[in-house]
Structure 1
Amino acid sequence: MNRLSKLFGHHLRTENRSPPPGPQASSTFPTEADYFRHRKQRGVNLGSWFVLERWIVDSPFRSAAAPAQSDLDVARGANAKEILENHWDTWITEEDWAWLAGRGVNTVRIPVGFYHICGADASVLPGTDFADFQHVFEGAWSRIIGALVSAHKHGLGVLIDLHAAPGKQNADSHSGTSSPHPAFFSKQANMKHTIHVLSTLLSHLTAFANSHSPPLTNLVGIELLNEPQPGSHGAALEKWYLDAFHALRAIDPCVPLYIGDSWMTDQYADFLSRSATHFAVLDHHLYRCFTSDDTSTSATEHARRLTDPNDWTPQMFARVAQKLESAGCALVVGEWSGALNPGSLHAVQNEYEARRAYVTAQLQLYERYCSGWFFWTYKKGSAGDKGWSFRDAIAAGVFPESIALKVKAAVGDDPSIATRRDAAKEKALNEHATYWKQYPGQYEHWRFGEGFIQGWDDAWTFLSASASHPGAFMQELGFKGPWAKRRAQAHAREKGEGNLWEFEHGFSQGTAAAAADFVSTYC
């Protein structure tokens, strides 16, 4: 039994897939999979496990063909199958899973290339640059599903990220080949084939998860495409996202689908708000070490800007997070790091303090506005990079030793919880009614009260289950938009449509009040 099952006990059902929202959904929501998918994700990327990047780990490239920068170069070199399989078996081991769980990490993002799926279905390869390399990559699939098993054992969720698509969706070597000319958008066949790849991936993952004993409930989502760079093909990317949504929802209507924002966060937040159905997540990547402006900005100023509520970046996060939550969607930062350009550290007197402040500023921003975040990357082949390596950043003290709050006292049968909840509801309801009294209209404030109670109780399901013993890491409801939308739909079926916005406002305030109460009482 995995750690989450032990924590939630009788609260959970073990089905990996829950039915789509509808008349029957209220009796099966939430499942154990829902808890994995909706809790706040504090995670890391397992970079260079499958999709290789030479700056992270050099050893797999020792026999690669020139220019020796990408997976295809490795495949074209000598002894590729042996080299890759040895790397897959040694880069992430049981010790790594245990270490991550022991630091409060509860989810990992695993970048894969389409060619890594060929061991499940060879039809992903024909017509691509990797058509002749099935024998090299077919062993990856057993390691990918093995990762799902190992993560589940340690209570970790898994987000599978399609990092390299047929034709390349960007010009970087981490998209599979060293070619500087991506052809994903210029060739319709590549876009169509990528939907086949994603459909194949999801079909085989869900089949394996459901057939496993016990069923694996920790697939928290599929990221459709890492860092797409559409250029003038922006409309084509939006259409492609919709086509991919349709294809994958036909396979599993409830699996969360993540999309990259191409660093046009407002645009794609609007896109999801208009078009998303069920559980959709926008992934934004934030680095501050590549541009000339990054170089000329000190580490101290980078941190200050991230904590200034009037600065552009915090305002964007606040704006986008609110818009997505209202639409039943969510925002995550799928990649970020503590890396700074040397120019940002040039005049810094205490590099350690500057780096720590920069990491802390990012964590505070993401914790406030995001449903989850994933540090890039877990580790590097050579030790000592406290900007890019999660393990080294923790060892150096620039990243907190534990990334989630710890519970100081176990939550037993505490009758005062209901008393505190009801008092908090009455206070919030009175404030709600007083505010709207100045705007004459037809209100149903009782819906606000019901939403508050539902939000508080749902939040406490997460919070109390994580507090099984002193020292346990706090787990809270993070994906409030998708969860609240499901609860509002159930409320509407039972009580009628009416002013659902009041239920949703109450739900949001109830979850926030429960979290504040839990932290002040038990942490």
Structure 2
Amino acid sequence: MAEASTKLRGVNLGSWLVLEKWMVPSLFEGLAATDETTWCAELGEQAGERLRAHWQRWITRDDFAWLAGRGLNAVRIPLGHWIFGADYPYHRSYGAARYPFVEGGIQVLDQAMAWAQEFGLHVVLDLHAAPGCQNGFDNGGIKDVCEWHTSPEYLEHSLNVLERLAERYAGHPALHAIEVLNEPRWDVPTDYLKAYNLQAYARIRKHCPAQSVAVVFHDGFRDFREYLGFMQAPQYRNVLFDIHRYQCFERSDIDLDIYGHLHKAAGAWKGEADAIINELGLPTLCGEWSLGLDLKVVSLWAEGPFNHAMEHMDEFQKNVAYRGYAAAQLATFEKYQGWFFWNYKTETTPAWCFRECVERGWLPSVFA
């Protein structure tokens, strides 16, 4: 049962139902693929066995138990528009394959919902990759393509997936919220996004009443003030606003020393939180954040220089810096309705791996 007042403290279960190469490079070894779409298209018939093995291995019941044991109460689960199988529009990146994506993800999601219920975790289902790709990022399904907003067919399929999720999990004790679209890019028109959010709300509300399930929309990389007066009560109920906050993608952030990063997290971001809380009229989540400051380990596209605040520190100084950066962010994000660390695990870098951050002492050992 989703109450708007529930404080969410959780992690993202990324690179599970939507692959990201930088997080699971072992799956991409020897391939030209840069994202799940091109991975499936390139592997063809071999994709099924390899991806199903990854689904079973990457996240297990033990992971849900570990999270609950640390006092966390929520998971955000990114999923692709292909979650229900071969009913999605064609895109040229599929090549000769009409339906390249591996089937069976919905059964994995069913299992995740059952584990969440068993351990008392709230689930946010997140449409992370939309047809045509909404942002041009690998996490949107097709790197360097941003065409989701150019086709009524893409829009309708997105809405249909959301409605099917709402119908399938309506009444499920673990379902806390459905996020209608992850990170639509800054150049997708705001009016188009707003219209989509309203339609998505209506589709979800057909099956999931406001007292039991929240509807989440992302800021689309634009100032929260562009949404002042949008989706307000009493017409719209249990709506959550999602922001993502990182300090490793823009040159002005990359060039900061550790004191600059701490100041931004506990200063500018705290001021932003106060403004959102006072002005927006919607409970807000920080749906993604991390301890990552080194762009080189996360990006398939960025050009250097890859300087970062930690590069000349010894191990003790790095540990101090990571603890400080974690604490500064948590102190700010605790002002919101909740937060979700990106990501629960990676194959590569501890600063983006929640479990390793906890085990190294950079993050608290208990979150309750």
Shorter-chain TM-score tier: 0.7 to 0.9
1:343 aligned partner, one-letter code = H
Aligned partners of 1:299 and 1:355 also within 8 Å: no
CA gap 1:126/1:104 in 2 versus in 1, 3 angstroms? same
Gaps of at least 5 residues in structure 1 are 1-32, 211-215, 405-523
Structure 1 residue aligned with 2:106, among 131, 137, 141?
141
Query: 1:277 is matched with which residue?
Result: 236
1:344 aligned partner, one-letter code = A
Note the aligned Cα RMSD (angstroms): 2.2
CA gap 1:269/1:136 in 2 versus in 1, 3 angstroms? closer
Query: 2:175 is matched with which residue?
Result: 219
Query: 2:249 is matched with which residue?
Result: 290
What is the Cα deviation at residue 360 of structure 1? 0.2
Aligned partners of 2:132 and 2:148 also within 8 Å: yes
Aligned partners of 1:75 and 1:133 also within 8 Å: no
Query: 1:338 is matched with which residue?
Result: 291
Deviates more, 1:357-366 or 1:233-242: 233-242
CA gap 1:268/1:142 in 2 versus in 1, 3 angstroms? farther
2:120 aligned partner, one-letter code = G
What is the Cα deviation at residue 348 of structure 1? 5.1
Aligned partners of 1:165 and 1:175 also within 8 Å: yes
Query: 1:34 is matched with which residue?
Result: 2
Query: 1:85 is matched with which residue?
Result: 52
Asked if 1:301 is matched to 2:241, the reply is no
CA gap 1:298/1:348 in 2 versus in 1, 3 angstroms? farther
Query: 2:185 is matched with which residue?
Result: 229
TM-score under structure 2 length normalisation: 0.88
Q: Spell out, residue by residue over 1:165-194, the C-alpha distance to the aligned partner (whole angstroms, 9 max, x if none).
A: 01110010111123x121111223212221
Query: 1:380 is matched with which residue?
Result: 346
Asked if 1:259 is matched to 2:212, the reply is no
Query: 1:250 is matched with which residue?
Result: 206
Structure 2 residue aligned with 1:353, among 320, 325, 330?
320
Q: Spell out, residue by residue over 1:132-173, the C-alpha distance to the aligned partner (whole angstroms, 9 max, x if none).
A: 465852211111011000111011111110000011100101
Aligned partners of 2:78 and 2:126 also within 8 Å: yes
What is the Cα deviation at residue 262 of structure 1? 1.6
1:314 aligned partner, one-letter code = K
1:498-509 → structure 2 map (5 Å cutoff): none
Q: Spell out, residue by residue over 1:466-513, the C-alpha distance to the aligned partner (whole angstroms, 9 max, x if none).
A: xxxxxxxxxxxxxxxxxxxxxxxxxxxxxxxxxxxxxxxxxxxxxxxx
What is the Cα deviation at residue 345 of structure 1? 2.2
Q: Distance in 2 between matches of 1:233 and 1:286?
A: 21
Aligned partners of 1:268 and 1:282 also within 8 Å: no
What is the Cα deviation at residue 126 of structure 1? 4.0
Aligned residues: 347
Q: Distance in 2 between matches of 1:233 and 1:376?
A: 27
Q: Spell out, residue by residue over 1:404-454, the C-alpha distance to the aligned partner (whole angstroms, 9 max, x if none).
A: 2xxxxxxxxxxxxxxxxxxxxxxxxxxxxxxxxxxxxxxxxxxxxxxxxxx
Whose RCO is larger (CA < 8 A, sep 6+)?
Answer: 2
Aligned partners of 2:277 and 2:283 also within 8 Å: yes
Asked if 1:200 is matched to 2:164, the reply is yes
Between Structure 1 and Structure 2, which shows a larger proportion of helix residues? Answer: 1
**What is the SS of the residue equivalent to 2:221?**
coil
Q: Distance in 2 between matches of 1:348 and 1:273?
A: 46
1:6-17 → structure 2 map (5 Å cutoff): none
Percentage of matched positions with identical amino acids: 32
CA gap 1:232/1:159 in 2 versus in 1, 3 angstroms? closer
Aligned partners of 1:50 and 1:88 also within 8 Å: yes
Query: 2:18 is matched with which residue?
Result: 51
Q: Spell out, residue by residue over 1:310-336, the C-alpha distance to the aligned partner (whole angstroms, 9 max, x if none).
A: xx3222110112334xx3x31000000
Aligned partners of 1:386 and 1:392 also within 8 Å: yes
CA gap 1:73/1:85 in 2 versus in 1, 3 angstroms? same
TM-score under structure 1 length normalisation: 0.63
What is the Cα deviation at residue 295 of structure 1? 1.7
Q: Distance in 2 between matches of 1:132 and 1:346?
A: 44
Q: Distance in 2 between matches of 1:273 and 1:243?
A: 11
What is the Cα deviation at residue 344 of structure 1? 1.6
**What is the SS of the residue equivalent to 2:350?**
coil
Structure 1 residue aligned with 2:62, among 76, 95, 116?
95
Query: 1:438 is matched with which residue?
Result: none
Query: 2:297 is matched with which residue?
Result: none
Query: 1:155 is matched with which residue?
Result: 120
Q: Distance in 1 between matches of 2:6 and 2:136?
A: 34
Aligned partners of 2:10 and 2:340 also within 8 Å: yes
1:73 aligned partner, one-letter code = T
CA gap 1:106/1:237 in 2 versus in 1, 3 angstroms? same
Query: 2:196 is matched with which residue?
Result: 240
CA gap 1:109/1:232 in 2 versus in 1, 3 angstroms? closer
CA gap 1:232/1:38 in 2 versus in 1, 3 angstroms? closer
CA gap 1:346/1:57 in 2 versus in 1, 3 angstroms? closer
Aligned partners of 1:378 and 1:390 also within 8 Å: yes
Query: 1:317 is matched with which residue?
Result: 273
Q: Distance in 2 between matches of 1:336 and 1:111?
A: 15
CA gap 1:353/1:289 in 2 versus in 1, 3 angstroms? same
Query: Larger Cα Rg: Structure 1 or Structure 2?
Result: 1
1:443-462 → structure 2 map (5 Å cutoff): none
Query: 2:80 is matched with which residue?
Result: 113
Query: 1:396 is matched with which residue?
Result: 360
Asked if 1:184 is matched to 2:165, the reply is no
Aligned partners of 2:13 and 2:76 also within 8 Å: yes
Q: Distance in 2 between matches of 1:253 and 1:344?
A: 46
Aligned partners of 2:90 and 2:99 also within 8 Å: no
**What is the SS of the residue equivalent to 2:343?**
coil
Query: 1:171 is matched with which residue?
Result: 136
Aligned partners of 1:224 and 1:258 also within 8 Å: yes
